[in-house]
Every structure is written in C-alpha cells, then in structure tokens.
Amino acid sequence: MTNETGESRVRLAIDALSHRYGDELAVDDVSFGIEAGELVALVGPSGCGKTTVVQSIAGHVRPTAGRIALHGEDVTGVPPEDRGVSIVFQRSTLYPHMTVGENVAYGLDARGVAPARREALVSKHLELVALDDQREARPTELSGGQRRRAELARALAPSPDVLLLDEPLSALDRTLRIRLREEIARIQRETGVTTLFVTHDQEDAMALADRLVVMNEGRIVGRGRPRDLYESPPTPFVASFLGRANTFSATVLKSNPLTVRRGDETVEIRGVKADVSDDSTVTCHVHPEDLSVRPAESRATNPSIRGTVAHVADVGRRYDVTVRIGSGEDLVAEQVSSPPAVDDDVAVAFPGDRLHLFDRDEGRRVPLSAV
Amino acid sequence: MTNETGESRVRLAIDALSHRYGDELAVDDVSFGIEAGELVALVGPSGCGKTTVVQSIAGHVRPTAGRIALHGEDVTGVPPEDRGVSIVFQRSTLYPHMTVGENVAYGLDARGVAPARREALVSKHLELVALDDQREARPTELSGGQRRRAELARALAPSPDVLLLDEPLSALDRTLRIRLREEIARIQRETGVTTLFVTHDQEDAMALADRLVVMNEGRIVGRGRPRDLYESPPTPFVASFLGRANTFSATVLKSNPLTVRRGDETVEIRGVKADVSDDSTVTCHVHPEDLSVRPAESRATNPSIRGTVAHVADVGRRYDVTVRIGSGEDLVAEQVSSPPAVDDDVAVAFPGDRLHLFDRDEGRRVPLSAV
Amino acid sequence: MNRTDTVGSGRSFRVPGRLVPAVLGGFLLVYFAFPFLSFLSRTGTANVAARLSTPEAQAAIRNSLLTAPVSTAVATVFGVPLAYLLARASFVGKRLVEGIVVLPLVLPPVVGGAMLLTAVGRFTPVGRVAAAAGVPLTGSLLGVVLAQTFVAAPFVVITARAGFGSVDERLEQASRSLGYGPLATFWNVSLPLARGAILAGITLTFARAIGEFGATMMVAYNPRTIPTRIWIDFISGGIDTVVPLALALLAITLAVITAVQRFGRIPTVVDG
Amino acid sequence: MNRTDTVGSGRSFRVPGRLVPAVLGGFLLVYFAFPFLSFLSRTGTANVAARLSTPEAQAAIRNSLLTAPVSTAVATVFGVPLAYLLARASFVGKRLVEGIVVLPLVLPPVVGGAMLLTAVGRFTPVGRVAAAAGVPLTGSLLGVVLAQTFVAAPFVVITARAGFGSVDERLEQASRSLGYGPLATFWNVSLPLARGAILAGITLTFARAIGEFGATMMVAYNPRTIPTRIWIDFISGGIDTVVPLALALLAITLAVITAVQRFGRIPTVVDG
C-alpha cells in the first residue's frame, strides 16, 4: 500500500511539497505517493491547501519548494501540456463553442491521433460515460450530471497517466452526487486509471477511495485506508472530520485498567490499558453510532457517562440524541429506535474498545490495548 | 399537525400558488401551511421550484396565481418591507460597509426602535449566535460559519413573524454544515420563531424539520413527519429522494400473502398482504440499511432475492455492498461488518414489513398490511 | 470562498508562452507612453507661467473649470438613476434605451455637435425661445455645458450600470425584507456598494467633459474653453505656444483622477 | 445553476419604487434622443446627394474609409494581446501599464494631438527622419492613422480585457492539461470565448477612430477626413452645409455597429 513497497509501482510521487502565497504558507511539506491504478482521496476542509497540491501536480502552480515525480521522473518544471495529467474541476470547463463530441476529441487532437482512431476513441469514451447519444449536443443542453460525465470522458480520452478530480461532486445535489460517485467508481474500475480525488466531503472520500490522505491547515494529518483511519484516528481532527465531533475531556486516574475522571464521575474502561502517564489530561472521542443511551439508574458492563438529554432529533432512519454531560460538553448518540425524552437523566454507554484517547496538549493518539 | 386542526394557529398559509417564467411552469398549484413555532422544511432537488415559493412568500416574486396569507391575512400584493418575513439566503448578504453590529441593527432601525432598546436587542441576538465579541468586526473578517450566524442574528433581531432560510447550509463543508444545523435547531428552539427551511439536502431537512414538504418538478409530492415519510414513502420519488434509490421491478402473483415474481424467482413475503390486483407490475423499494446480504444457499425466514456481488465499498463506518440482481438492476445493501467478496453469489434479504410497493404506471403507493 | 478558489498563481512559470503577447502589447504601450514623455520633456523649453497668465488663457481656464463640473454634475444626477434602472429593471424597449445611451458614445463629436445645433441652434424653435429669454443655448457657456453633457454623460451611465450590476440583488432583497422600501434600499445598500464604480464613471465623465473639443467647436466656438483655446493658439502660433495650456489641461485631468483614486477605485473600472 | 438561482423577477411589482429613477433617467434619454431626431428631420431639407458628390466630400469620405480601418486593425493587432496579458498575467509594474492604457482615454484629444506633435512632429528627430524618407508623419494620411490609433486604441484593449477576464481561467488550464501550449490554448479557447467582447471593442475603436477630430486637427489638418471636412464646411457655410457629410459619417458608424451586432454582442459590452 505504501510507496516504499515497490518503487516501480509508484505512478505519482509528491515529495516535500510546500507553497507560499505571499506570506501565507498554503502547503507545508506535503509528501505522498499513488500507485498505478490506485484511487486515492485527498480530503480536508475548505482552504486546507489541497487545491494548491492538485494545481502543483497538474503544473498550473509552480510550488515554492518540493518535487513532483511521474513514473519516477521529476516533472516539477515541466509545463502542464507535457505531463499527461488530466484534470476535472468543480465547475464545468466544457468548451461551450464545441459539441460534446468535439470536447472529448479535443485532447486527442493535441496528440495528433489519426481521424479514424480519434472517432473510435471518442465513441468508446462517450459510451463509457453513457453519453453516446449526446455526441452532437452542446454542453449547455446537458444536465448537471451529464456535464460531469462529459468532462470525465474528455479527461480520460487521451489515456492520461494520472487523473485529477478536483471537487467534481461538490456543486451537485446529494442524490445526484451519490449516483455520480458510484459512476466514478465504476469508470475508475473499468479504466484502471490512477486517480487522485480531491474533496472536502469525507463521505465522498470514504465511499470512493482505496486510500485517504487527510490534510488540515496545509499539512497532512492522517493517511491510510478509510476503515483504519475511521477506527483508529491518529488525531482528534481526523476523528471529528471523518466521523462527527463527539468529544469530552477527562483526567487519567489509572492506566491499567484505564480509569478516567470527569468532574465527580469515575469511569473505568475494563479490559483496556493505555500507554499514558497518570494525571494527564486527555481528550476522548467516541463515534456517535458507538454510543447508546440508557436510563441513568441501569448499570451494565459497558463504561458509561451520566448526562441529561438536551435534544432529540428524528432524522427519519434514526434518532440523534444530544446528551449534555457537562457545561458546554454535549455528546450525540445515534439511536435506531426508542429514543429517550428530553430532560431525562441518562447514561451514555460505549464499548471500551471504541474509545479514542488523545493527548490533550500534543493531540497525539494514546495507544490503547486489550489487557 | 395539519392546518385543518386549528385555523387560528396557522401562521403562514400558501394557497394554490403557481408561477410561470415565460412558458415554463416553475411552481404548479402548491398549497401548504406552517403553524406558529413550527420548523417546516421545503425540500426537493435543484430546480424543483422551491426557491420561487420562498421568493413569493418573501414578496420578491409576484406569483402568477395563488395566495399567500400571514396570520390569516392575504399578503400576496404586499411589498416585502411590510410583511414581517425575514430571509437568509445561500450566499451571504451581510452588508460589507457595515460592522456586524450595524448589520444586526439594520432591521431594527427600519422599525424606529429606540437607541437603548436597539442596543439591547443587538446584544441579545449577538449572544444568541455566540458572536458578542465580533460586534465591531467587518463581515469580511468573519469565517464562513460566523457569517451564517451573523445573518441569522440580523434576520431574527426584528422578531419576524416568519423566518425563511433559503439553502443556508448548501455552500458549507459537511463538518461545518452539521455544526450549523445543530446551531439552527437550538436557535429555533430558543426563539420559537416560525421557520421555513428550504434545502435540496434531504439529510439537513430530516435532521432539522418537524415536518417536511417534498417538491419535485414544481409540485408537492409528499408531506409529513420525516419518520413517516421515510418509513411509508407515498411515491417512488420520495422513497429514493429521502433514502437512496434502491428499487427492483416485479410482477404480483398473489396478494395474500404477497407473492411476487422477478424473472425465474418467486418471492413470498409472509405475513404481508397487499391491496393490489394480481398480475400487476410493481416497483419495489427497500432502504439500503434494511437489506442484508447472506450466502446464496442459506434459507431464512425473511424473503430474499438472489444476485451476485458487483462491488464492495468500504465506507469506514460500514460497507456498501452492490448486488447485481438482474441486467441493469442493482441493489445496495449497507452492512456493518463481514462483507462478502466480489462475484460471490448471495441472497439479499429484507424484513417483509420494510418493503415499499408502488404501482408501476401511476407511481402510487400500494397499501400493505399485516395478515 | 478562499484560497482553494484562487487557481493558477504560477504566473512566472508561463512567461515563455507570454512572450508573443508581451512583445505585441509592448509596441502599443510604447506608442502610448512615448508622446506623453516627449510632451513632458518639451515643457521645459516653453515659458509656462507667462503663457498661462495671459487674459485669453485665464478666461479659457475659468470657462473650463466652470463648465466641466456642471456638466459632470448634470450627467451624474440624471445618469446614475438611469444606470440603476438599466441594471435592475426589465421593461419593454430596454434594448432601445440601451441603444440611445450608447449613441453619444459612438457618435463622432462633430456629428454630435451638428445634432445639437439642429436641436437647440439659434434658428430652431427651442433655441429661438431660449435666446429671446436671454439664455442663448449656443455660443455661450450654457452651450458648452450642453455639448459636454451630451458627449460625456454615457460614461457615467455605463460605468455605474456595471457597478450596480455587480451588487448581488439579494443584498437589496434582504434590505427590503428587513423593512426598507425601494428608495431607502437604494440609498442604504445599492449606492454605497456601487460607490467605487460610480466614482470611476464620474471621473471618466469629467475627463471627457473638460477635454471636449469637437462638439464644443460646433455648438460654442465662443466663449473659449481650454481645448478650443489650444486650437486657436495652435493655428496662430504652432506647437510651442500650446504646450503651457495643454499642460494645464493635463494637470487638471490627472489631478481629478488622482483625487478620485484616493477615495474610490481606479477608472479602469470601465472594464466592469 | 438554473431556475432556483434566478431571483426576483417580480419586476412589475416594484414599479412604484422605480418611478423616481425612471423620471430622472428619462430626462437624460430625451436629451440624448432629441438632437438625434432633430438632426434626422433636418436631413430632408438638405440636398444630400449633391453635397456628397463634390470632390471635397468624396476625398474626405475616401480618406476616412482608408484611415479608420487601418487604425482599427493596428489597435486590434497590438491591443488584443495586451488585453490578454492584463487579464491573465500579474507582473511588476502592472498598475503603471494599466495607467498608460487608460491615459489616451482620459486625455483631451487636443492634448493627445499636441503630445503626438511633440513626439513625431515635423521638427522632432523622429518626424524629420520620416519626412526625409518620404513618409511624413504629420499632415498626411499616416498622421491621421497615428492620431486615430492613439485616441481609439484604449477601447479595444479595455473591452477585450474585460472579455478575457470573464473567461474562467480553468477552461484554459483544462486545455493546457489536455496537451495544448499557451499559444494554442489562446487560439482554441480564450479567443473564441472572448470573441463577443473583442468584437465590441473593435467596433468602439472603429467608431472612435472614424469620428476622431481633436487630435487629427492638430496632427493632420490636411488631408481632410470627414470630421475635419465637416468643420471646414461648417465655418464657411453653416449648419445646413454639413448635414449631408454628418449624415454620411453617422451612416458609416451605425452600419459598422449593426454589422458587428449581427455576429457578436452589442457594444454596450464596455460595461463588462
């Protein structure tokens, strides 16, 4: 999975990339690689620097420092037209003065593909995105989803070494987004094109990508398979960003079995020990679906925290129960059925192995292990 | 819940509203009401006409036909400034040449509120949205989320009869959107302002609203509590829009107990009878989380459909398993653990009472009942 | 949005591809700048102060400084509301109105002057009535104002219209919904937000008005403004005699543009 | 987006609030339209055909139709690349370049003419060399072209710049990533997409060039163009003698604008 395993398989390598706009460091020492055929998502909130990374890879921004390599060859100074990197932007860049077919053929013409072969390639790629019958249409006649698909066909037609998708779904409605996401997954499987998918939407990223690279404030703050990052987030930011912010702070009383104190409440997490010094303050994160809400008096095996129900939102397929566990500290529990009433005193329980602990000062993950 | 129960409680009534742009009928005979203190979501895909409805309520569009009533009084011809309807748009409309405090005071000045009271109201509303320390800031100095909250404060300060929120979250990242959604819910609970929340995002709508009004192509296609609409969608559109498109077509063999045929497979849904004539063709919808995937040979009590696993997406907190059940017909099952492998022959099972049946030609829901 | 939306700042990177336009555009720049610099270097040889203190020069300067601000004010008072309407309202005949607004801009000034003469000249009904009332519309300062307004007013209309057009209409709708009528909304929201463009338009109008020559020559050859005086001096005395007055006119124009730049936007705002 | 983004089409609804700007703006419209109509009604009384067939009129028409297209072509060839650079590139001194481009626009034409005389006049180094080589830069058709280009070129630069600016830079980036160099991208993408604005700029430049009067009077009083001929005829014969030539100039200007409208956008595009 990592680019150390086999140097020859790495299609795209970003090495110590940094970029400054004036005084502002937009990208700070970013390094990652993509193997041939992989679909990697670069994900992070708006303004985290991911678009600058993409623009550097495409060659539209010259980075202040660092190196971009394709097939192991340094392309940092190579102009965009000589890189073999296709790009699809958030907003449509189809040429309004050309038909859909001419748009798809555009990149082929640049490479001097013979007319017969060009027609065949255009047909093949229009079929791939199910737009064969829109070949003579103008981009303005297409729907939003069709326009996205036409752009994909145009980007794929010249068989790029790397396909960059820069927030291709962000301007779309949720229904259309999910449909197009599945379409992109299918097309990537069928073509096997090495793809970097850039998005601020963690759901899109996790649904599509083999691997995630999470950025925040110009730096990489996490990388790995979606499930690994979700189940063992390396920082509180990754935990909140991939799931939903759901944290409380506590003080470690004992590290084996892990016992923490919040206010006047002591919570023992049986069967778990933590690699942390006593008396250190930690930030605890639990994903909302790992929490369950019970009547306050009930005592079960799972560790729990007392609180009062502040709000119950009926989301249709589940209830989001907000429990106030202290001044300004709320936990949200996702409950499938029988929600409590507002103002009920409740206990919020969680399986001990679903707790994530982070060092308060440095934000690093505290390793937990079964006893 | 409906506006028939008590005429006096209805704050806002939209009656037979239609609007044409040129030849195009953007809104077609839309009627609904909102009771005092209610939060209703008007939800539908982009271009379904919901913004025209909002603009008609605010008075910025004069509808071609129909009536808008506030407190039972016809306001269809009343200019916006005399309606007492505040509006928050998708993009920020904070005035860049005024401070945040001046923006919030703007609507109060129009009503000639005395200076001392105005200051008090501005402070109160800035506190409500937690922006007290940004009073002297310029809108450009605020973050995206702060700008939204400042707009809410400005809209609420003059104590409007109705608050219109026109896609207020659509331009935001998912993380920020969820946080602001919770903020809006809290503010609405605290102020009790009658609110119409307009969005194309079903998740936002269901998380926030007491009641949903679903629009498609200019018409209302569903209305009710989020849970009722989700659990008993009146049309295939509502089923797919609020959940996720997940349908297959079948022919009814027997209505009691309901038995349907798909290709060479006969599925008996035990304990359920349908009010439908034999041999009619129906569209069946099941929400992805109601589906479970099992090995093909296993036979259980729940009805199931045979298929082949086409794709497994690891979404981090779950697996989305796409099962091909016929040419061009796929079902997506959300599975929490142990997903099957691609190309496995499997059975997709569902509880009989979670199936939704729609008449194929007219799209109407087929009533199902326990035997 | 923010940073993620700023695309393509790797300018220096593409310089090779920009060599051709840079060379071609450079010719034009040199052609614009060279006469300007030649002119400024010439001013040293002319006796500027003496030339500017002659009674004729003094009268021309006074006339120009009287008429151009009046023309600009008239164009602004009537032109800004028109610009707002063109930016916001849609009505039958809007295309025609747009055509009428552009007309004086594309019209050769001497033709504009000829048109004004056929409308308000001494022997037209309007002109005869006005002359009889003691306010002749041609050959008078009022005539100068009429010529300047006709030629220069489109600039403020077109520029202010672009300014209003770039103000999001929703900002005005929000103001209406917060309790302000259309006029109050115009004053509180539209006008302050389009301020930069309006100032730029006023500047352009002033520059065009004070420099007006062709229409003024037709409508009001007398009394002289700076441009007409320059012409008279030129045919009688050649280029060296006109440098001082031309310098004065240049100074006034540049002073106004610089002053407006201080408060608003640069007048390149014609490009929206 | 689509329908949901079109906000506030309830125009007729707000007419009361638009009465004030409509009345104020109406005055200006009448002031623009009235001279135009007076002028057209006057043409009936003049013997147009006879006046236009005099050798003087024929020479003026010929000279104008020779010089204005050349000036427009020169301004376009050098101005469009400059406009593209100003829209896309950021470089040290860009503000200065923008100032130089606007200069001839805000400069009074007679001052522009005076500047050109100090640069290429008969007694300047450049002018002397050119005259010795048999191509005098003043008092010649070449002088007319120089004057027209100086005064009119900013229009095509500013309008084309706005046109390039409104083309999303990502469309060019996509073209680069699809394998085209900067020049090919300019030809395939930028130029066709900014076509409307460029055509509008060319039209404005042509209108300004063929109507040029002030700078031409200084640089090339001879040979006569239509505007200078109109002036000569006016001082010798009064308004009625100039109506035919003014009509011809008006016709040429409007014909070009109409022709361009057919293919591109209306020239109100100065407002971006």
What would the pLDDT profile of C114-169 be if each residue is shown by its tens digit? 999 999 998 899 999 999 999 999 999 999 999 999 999 999 999 999 999 999 99
Question: Residue C270 pLDDT > 80, yes or no?
Answer: no
Q: What is the pLDDT of residues D24-81, one digit of tens each?
A: 999 999 999 999 999 998 887 668 888 899 999 999 999 999 999 999 999 999 999 9
- pLDDT of amino acid C258: 82
Contact status of A148 with chain D (Cβ, < 8 Å): no
pLDDT for D268 beyond 70 = no
Closest CA in chain D for residue C27: D78
Range of the domain at D92: 49-264
The DSSP letter of residue A339 is P
The answer to whether residues D219 and D235 touch, using CB atoms and an 8 Å cutoff, is no
DSSP for B228-259, written as a single string:
HHHHS-SSHHHHHHHS---EEEEEEEEETTEE
Nearest C-alpha of chain B: how many angstroms from C97?
Answer: 22
Domain ranges of chain A: 10-239, 244-370
DSSP state of A297: T
pLDDT of A78 > 90? The answer is yes
Whether residue D33 is contained in a domain is answered as no
Domain count, chain D: 1
Interchain contact, D178 vs A95, CB within 8 Å: no
Q: What pLDDT shows up at residue D259?
A: 79
Using the 8-state DSSP alphabet, how is residue B365 labeled? B
Mean pLDDT of D91-109: 89
What local confidence, expressed as pLDDT, does residue D263 receive? Answer: 61
Res D10 pLDDT > 80:
no
Measuring CA to CA, how many Å separate C8 from each of B14, D83, D185? 48, 18, 15
Q: Is C180 an interface residue toward D (CB < 8 Å)?
A: no
pLDDT digits (tens, 9 = 90+) for C26-77: 999 999 999 999 999 888 766 888 889 999 999 999 999 999 999 999 999 9
A83 touches chain C (CB under 8 A): no
Which pLDDT does position A300 carry in this prediction? 67
- Among the partner residues B24, B47, B55, nearest to D7 by beta-carbon distance: B55
C164 inside 8 A of chain D by CB? no
CA distance D37 to chain C (A): 8
Say whether pLDDT at A65 is over 90.
yes
Find the mean pLDDT for residues A275-282.
87
- DSSP lists the bridge partners of residue B211 as B40
Give the closest-approach CA distance of D80 to chain C in angstroms. Answer: 8
* D253 contact C CB<8A: yes
Alpha-carbon span D234 to D213, nearest angstrom: 14
Chain D neighbors of A91, CB-CB under 8 A: 168, 170
For C22, which of D85, D150, D242 is closest by C-beta distance?
A: D85
Give me B118's structure tokens.
């105005």
Give the per-residue pLDDT at C198: 92
Would you call A49 and C14 a contact, using CB atoms and an 8 Å cutoff? no
Minimum-distance CB partner of D13 among B21, B52, B62: B62
Do the Cβ atoms of A81 and D168 come within 8 Å? no
CA distance B230 to chain A (A): 6
With a pLDDT cut of 90, the percent of chain B lying above it is: 64
Residue C189, min C-alpha distance to chain B (Å): 7
When pLDDT is averaged across residues B328-348 and rounded to a whole number, the result is 89
Q: Is residue A342 a contact partner of residue A267, using CB atoms and an 8 Å limit?
A: no
Average model confidence (pLDDT) across chain B: 90
**Is residue B214 scored above 90 in pLDDT?**
yes
Superfamily of segment(s) A244-370: Nucleic acid-binding proteins (2.40.50.140)
b (16+ CB within 10 A) / e for A127-142 = ebbebeebbeebbeeb
Tally of CA atoms within 13 A in the half-sphere of C260 that contains its CB: 24
Cα–Cα distance for residue pair C220/B251, rounded to 1 Å: 91
CB C50 within 8 A of CB C243: no
Are D178 and A85 within 8 A, CB to CB?
Answer: no
Between residues D61 and D98, the one the model is more confident about: D61
Angle between helices C109-120 and C141-165 in degrees, nearest 10:
120
Residue D259 touches chain C, beta carbons under 8 Å: no
Which class for A351: exposed (0-12), middle (13-18), buried (19 or more C-beta within 10 A)?
middle
Closest by alpha carbon to C217, among A343, D68, A235, D242?
Answer: D242
For A51, the closest chain C residue by CA position comes to C4
**Is residue D4 predicted with pLDDT exceeding 60?**
no
Q: What is the pLDDT of residues C210-229, one digit of tens each?
A: 999 999 999 999 899 999 99
User: Which of A46-50, A138-142, B219-223, C18-22 has the least mean pLDDT?
Assistant: C18-22
Taking the Cβ of residue A51 and every Cβ of chain C, the question of whether any pair is shorter than 8 Å is answered with yes
pLDDT of D188 > 90? The answer is yes
Query: Tokens 């590139």 — which residue?
Result: D89
Cβ distance of B87 and C168 shorter than 8 Å = no
Taking an 8 Å cut-off on Cβ atoms, the answer to whether A58 and D171 are in contact is: no
Higher pLDDT, A279 or A101: A101
Quick check: is C31 in a domain? no
Instruction: Using CB atoms, pick whichever of B47, B60, B79 lies closest to residue D3.
Output: B47
Task: Using the structure block, give the residue that is written with the tokens 């600016």.
Answer: D165
Task: Establish if A78 touches chain D: CB-CB under 8 angstroms.
Answer: no
Interface touch B316/A178, C-beta < 8 Å: no
Q: Do A242 and B316 touch (CB under 8 A)?
A: yes
Phi, psi of B126 (to 5 degrees): -70, -35
- The mean per-residue pLDDT over the stretch C9-19 comes to 52
Q: Is the pLDDT of residue D167 over 90?
A: yes
Which residues in chain A are closer than 8 Å to B314, comparing Cβ atoms?
206, 225-227
CA distance A290 to chain C (A): 34
Judge: A60–D175 Cβ closer than 8 Å, yes or no: no
Q: How far is D205 from chain B (nearest CA, A)?
A: 37
Share of chain B above pLDDT 70, in %: 97
Helix (H), strand (E), coil (C) string for A13-57: EEEEEEEEECCEEEEEEEEEEEECCCEEEEECCCCCCHHHHHHHH
**pLDDT at position A116:** 94
Q: Give the DSSP letter string of C79-137.
A: HHHHHHHHHH---TTHHHHHHHHHHHHHS-HHHHHHHHHHHHSTTSHHHHHHHHTT--S
Return the amino acid letter for C193.
L
Confidence check: pLDDT of D141 > 90: yes
DSSP string, D70-120: HHHHHHHHHHHHHHHHHHH---TTHHHHHHHHHHHHHS-HHHHHHHHHHHH
- Sign of the torsion formed by the C-alpha atoms of B286, B291, B294 and B299: negative
Q: Do B93 and C184 make contact, defined as CB atoms within 8 angstroms? A: no
- Structural domain contains residue C151: yes
Q: Is residue C219 included in any domain, yes or no? A: yes
- The pLDDT assigned to B299 comes to 67
pLDDT, one tens digit per residue, over B163-207 is: 999 999 988 888 889 889 989 999 999 999 999 999 999 999 999
What does residue D144 show for φ and ψ, rounded to 5 degrees? Answer: -60, -45
pLDDT grade for A173, boundaries at 50, 70 and 90? confident
Q: Which CATH superfamily is domain B10-239 in?
A: P-loop containing nucleotide triphosphate hydrolases (3.40.50.300)
Lowest mean pLDDT among A31-45, C46-60, D211-225: C46-60
Which residues are B18's β-sheet partners? B65
Query: Taking Cα atoms as reference points, which of D231, D238, D209 lies closest to residue D148?
Result: D209
CA atoms within 13 A on the CB side of C259: 11
**Which residues make beta-bridge pairs with A324?**
A308, A330
- Interchain contact, D173 vs A58, CB within 8 Å: yes
ipTM rounded to 2 decimals: 0.88
Residue B93, pLDDT score: 96
Q: Is the pLDDT of residue C8 over 60?
A: no
Enumerate the residues of chain D whose CB falls inside 8 A of the CB of residue A106. 175, 178, 188
**pLDDT for position C46:** 63
| Nearest Cα residue in chain A from C3 | A47
The kind and range of the H/E element at D260 are helix D239-263
pLDDT of A2 strictly over 90? no
> From start to end of chain C, where are the E strands?
none
Which residue has 């003579």 as its token pair? A136
Please report whether residue C226 resides in a domain: yes
Query: How far apart are alpha carbons C221 and D222 in whole angstroms?
Result: 21
Lowest mean pLDDT among B30-34, B210-214, B313-317: B313-317
Domain of D163, CATH number, reads 1.10.3720.10
Q: And the tokens for B352?
A: 């009989």
User: Is D8's pLDDT higher than 70?
Assistant: no
Q: Which of A51, A62, A79 is facing C4, going by the closest CB pair?
A: A51
pLDDT tens digits, one per residue of A181-231: 989 999 999 999 999 999 999 999 999 999 999 999 999 999 999 999 998
How does the average pLDDT of chain A come out, rounded? 90
| Minimum Cα–Cα distance from A228: chain B residue | B316
Minimum mean pLDDT among A111-115, B42-46, B125-129, B297-301: which range?
B297-301
What local confidence, expressed as pLDDT, does residue D46 receive?
63
Q: Is residue B316 within 8 Å of residue B249, measured between CB atoms?
A: no
Question: What number of other Cβ atoms are within 10 A of residue A333's Cβ?
Answer: 28
> What burial letters (b/e) apply to C245-261, b meaning 16+ CB within 10 Å?
bbbbbbebbeebbeebe
Higher pLDDT, A37 or C17: A37
D73-97 pLDDT, tens digit each: 999 999 999 999 999 988 888 888 9
Within a domain: C42 = no
pLDDT at position D32 is: 92
Q: What is the rounded end-to-end Cα distance, in angstroms, of chain D?
A: 21
Q: Which residues, other chains included, contact C240 with Cβ-Cβ below 8 Å and sequence gap of 6+? A: C42, C45, C46
Within a domain: residue D37? no
pLDDT at D13 over 70: no
Name the residue among C261, C147, C242, C271 with its Cα closest to residue C196: C261
User: What backbone phi and psi angles, to 5 degrees, belong to B333?
Assistant: -115, 130
Q: C-chain residues within 8 Å CB-CB of B87?
A: 173-174, 177
Pull the structure tokens for residue D63: 């000279």
pLDDT score of A63: 95
Q: What is the mean pLDDT of residues A333-340?
A: 88
Residue with tokens 């001052």: D111
